[in-house]
Amino acid sequence: MKFTIIHELPDRLRVNLIIPKGFSINMDGINGIQPPLIPPLLRGIKGVVSATFNNKTGNLLIRHNGDKGVKKEVLKAIEIAPLGLCLKKAVDKGNLSHPPLAKGGKGGFSKGEKGGFKRYLQAKKAVISSGARLIISPLFPLPIRAAITLYGAAPFFKKGIKALLNRNLNVDVLDAAAIGAAMGIGDYRTAGAISFLLKVGDYLEEWTKDKSRKMLTHAFQIGDEYTWVRKNGTEYTIRTSELKEEDIVVVRTGSRIPVDGVVIEGEAMVNQASMTGEPLSVMKRQGLTVYAGTAVDEGSIVVKAIDIGNETRIAKIVRVIHESETLKADVQSHAERLADRLVPYTFLLSGLTYTITGSLVRTASVLLVDYSCAIKLSTPLGIMSGMINSAKRGAVIKGGKFIERLSKANVFVLDKTGTLTEASPSVIDVITFNGYTKDYVLKHAACVEEHFPHPVATAIVNKAKDEGLIHEEKHSEVEYIAAHGIASYISGKRILVGSRHFIHEDEGIDAEIAKPFIKEFANRGLSMLYVAIDNKLAGLIVIEDPLRKEAFEFIKRLKNSCIDKIVMLTGDADTAARNAADRLGIKDYYSQILPDKKTEIIKSLKNDGYTVAMVGDGINDSAAIAHADVGISMKHGADIAKEASDILLLDGSLMSIIEAKNISKKTMNTIKQNFKYIVGINSSLIFLSFIGLSTPAFSAFMHNASTMLSALNSLKILKEKGNLEPYCRNY
């Protein structure tokens, strides 16, 4: 393996590998694969302290004990290292990078992506051959020239006839009619030029789609083709697609992390730009979570794999974005329908042009102008760009129509617990009554609560664990009553854990004895769970669930984002709810409400003409999330809430909602802007064609140019920042 020494100190050596022809280095590393196998070979040399490889630069950094003999041995090892251990050939002649993850968890291109790239190559080939025919056709006699033109136009005639047979008067018929009109007057040069420009248009469309696929690949690159794993103290490489849960993965400087997992050893600075959009690396050490697609900038970590392949968070994001076309925005569907409806009018105008002017050239010029091509390309491209940008900033939007709805949302309904408050409440006190002890109440409450994945339940279980209380599974089946509480039997005694409404009003258990404590804790903004055993109040479990620090800034930014109302919902007592609402500056709130009441509030707001966004995380929020125009769930929420949601917050940050709303607003503004440009430019072309100032070739050229410009304008959404200036400053 050839190399050059680029930096040298007595105990340190930096070497750059020289990449031979047929191999390559790109920004994702050497063909996007795992670093060379040289570092472990070097680390086996006595006197070598460390050896790391940087994918981005192709540099090896070797630290050793300063012995000159060690240096010579290191350089010799690099020189004689087999090329196959170091590099891998480019994917193909085009040096294609690997997409994030193919269907089924394998590396390489998925079926849809292969088809898309094939269409792109076919369109490129068609442009080249059509251009060649356009150049050489004047060299031949008229009959041969006509045959060459007909051959080049055949695909357009075929599509036009097929559309007519299916009773569709669309753009394919327009294209065929325009070419036919030019050939009808014997202007084969113009007919050939039209065919060429239409093929250029097809190529530009496929080029743009291919660019968007590569853009998605680059934005969410999951990992390298090969991964280092550790087993029984030995490190070796396997294909990333062969990874299994619980595998121990070793990731070093310059490599991407291939799994979602927990760091069990080492420290590293990890670049999470692919997930969060933040350019600065963050420190990851033992016990912290890392995600597939992020990259180790410096250091080395050992990760225990939790989610792999299509189960990783970033793979799910990619899947949602790829599938987004099934959930088109209303504006997208409307624009496409409008564009198709304009086709008959174009034919009508072309007929009118011929009737008035008798010119087939002008008629062909009018026929070559259509609105649908640009609209059908730029609109979905804008939607996808908005989804990618939003996902990178922590909010996965599950379809184009939800971008549109979020941009219009003028009422935000916010669940309090777990949304506006920290997702890690804690038990600060246990008050007991009727002869029960603190340990007894806490132990048995934890025994039934541990079966439910809710932050409050987790707090109770953790408190019992901290107190050293062991709770054996002696209870009967646990019944969960949504937004009320839990009921079960322990050693023949019925135990109830839940809200005051559940214990006192539904079950009729007297809570008068607890009244002084209830008032005191409520005034302090604390929440309470009631525990009853054998139809008697056994205790109060006092929960502290502090407001998120970011909640204050979130509410402030939300008020400045041109919305009409903010509503807070909670099952807490009115005093605790009012305390939180006053601190956050929320005027409208509802306390002690059940799931059906939450749904009623959502429906009522929608009936009043509002576009409602609901943010929640619990099982009791899922119905309201599903009924809202836009349902938003926190990442730590219940599975049913995440499933019902239209937008999922990956990092649980409320500020991601603000960024997603701003991006969605920009996306819709760009789509509307494109629509105005497309209609304006193409209408002007029709007018110029009608008065004879535009030739068919010029019409085709300008039409394709406007299509390309609108597509590029849609791609600009990718670079929009989420923290835009507020759209409204008054609330």
CATH at residue 26: 3.30.1360
Q: Do 540 and 430 share a structural domain?
A: yes
Give yes or no for residue 707 having a pLDDT over 80: no
* Listed residues 544, 569, 594: the one ending a domain: 544
Which tokens in the block code for residue 258? 């291939």
Give yes or no for residue 367 having a pLDDT over 90: no
- What's the rounded Cα separation, in Å, for the pair 730 and 101? 45
Which of 103-107, 203-207, 286-290, 427-431 holds the top average pLDDT?
A: 427-431
Q: What confidence score (pLDDT) does residue 718 get?
A: 81
Q: Do 630 and 554 share a structural domain?
A: yes
pTM for the structure as a whole: 0.58
- What's the rounded Cα separation, in Å, for the pair 147 and 137? 10
Own/partner pairs for 145-151, CB < 8 Å, 24+ apart? 145/188, 146/183, 146/188, 148/188, 148/192, 149/183, 149/188, 149/191, 149/192, 149/195, 150/183
- pLDDT tens per residue across span 505-559: 888 898 889 888 888 887 787 888 899 998 899 999 998 888 888 999 999 999 8
Q: Do 415 and 482 share a structural domain?
A: no
Which tokens in the block code for residue 590? 């509802």
Read out DSSP for 218-274? HHT----SEEEEEETTEEEEEEGGG--TT-EEEEETTPBP-SEEEEEEEEEEEE-HH
* Listed residues 600, 632, 652: the one ending a domain: 652
Domain-located, residue 262: yes
Q: What confidence score (pLDDT) does residue 161 get?
A: 92
Domain-located, residue 629: yes
Which tokens in the block code for residue 664? 């969605």
- pLDDT tens per residue across span 304-316: 999 887 777 777 6
Q: Do 452 and 406 share a structural domain?
A: no
- pLDDT tens per residue across span 21-59: 444 443 333 333 334 456 666 766 778 887 877 655 667
Give yes or no for residue 145 having a pLDDT over 70: yes
Q: Do 529 and 490 share a structural domain?
A: yes
CATH of the domain at 535: 3.40.1110.10
Q: Do 554 and 529 share a structural domain?
A: no
Question: Average pLDDT, stretch 556-580?
Answer: 86
Res. 208 pLDDT band, cuts 50 70 90:
low
Element (H, E) at 401: helix 400-408
Domain-located, residue 462: yes
Q: Do 461 and 608 share a structural domain?
A: no
CATH of the domain at 294: 2.70.150.10
Which tokens in the block code for residue 142? 């008229």
Domain-located, residue 25: yes
Mean pLDDT of the chain, nearest integer: 77
Count of domains forming the chain: 4
- pLDDT tens per residue across span 149-171: 899 889 989 988 998 898 888 77
Domain-located, residue 174: no
Give yes or no for residue 667 having a pLDDT over 50: yes
Contacting residues for 512 by C-beta, under 8 A, at least 6 apart: none
63 vs 220: which has the higher pLDDT: 63
* Listed residues 598, 626, 652: the one ending a domain: 652
Q: Do 528 and 627 share a structural domain?
A: no
Res. 591 pLDDT band, cuts 50 70 90:
confident
Q: What confidence score (pLDDT) does residue 298 get?
A: 82
Question: Average pLDDT, stretch 216-221?
Answer: 53
Q: What confidence score (pLDDT) does residue 333 get?
A: 61
Q: Do 489 and 409 share a structural domain?
A: no
Res. 89 pLDDT band, cuts 50 70 90:
very low
Task: Give the bridge partners for 13, in sequence order.
Answer: 8, 62
- What's the rounded Cα separation, in Å, for the pair 121 and 127? 10
Which of 140-144, 184-188, 422-426 holds the top average pLDDT?
A: 140-144
- pLDDT tens per residue across span 406-459: 999 999 999 887 788 876 788 999 999 999 999 999 988 888 887 665 677 888
Contacting residues for 683 by C-beta, under 8 A, at least 6 apart: none
From 8-12, 20-24, 420-424, 635-639, the region with the lowest mean pLDDT? 20-24
Question: Average pLDDT, stretch 690-698?
Answer: 81
Domain-located, residue 432: yes
Q: Do 455 and 531 share a structural domain?
A: yes
Domain-located, residue 112: no
Domain-located, residue 691: no
Alpha helix (H) ranges present in 505-548? Answer: 515-523
Domain of residue 562 covers 395-421+548-652
Of 698, 708, 709, 672, the C-alpha closest to 369 is: 698
Q: Do 565 and 594 share a structural domain?
A: yes
Q: What confidence score (pLDDT) does residue 605 get?
A: 95
279 vs 715: which has the higher pLDDT: 715
Q: What confidence score (pLDDT) does residue 473 get?
A: 57
Q: Do 596 and 540 share a structural domain?
A: no
CATH of the domain at 552: 3.40.50.1000
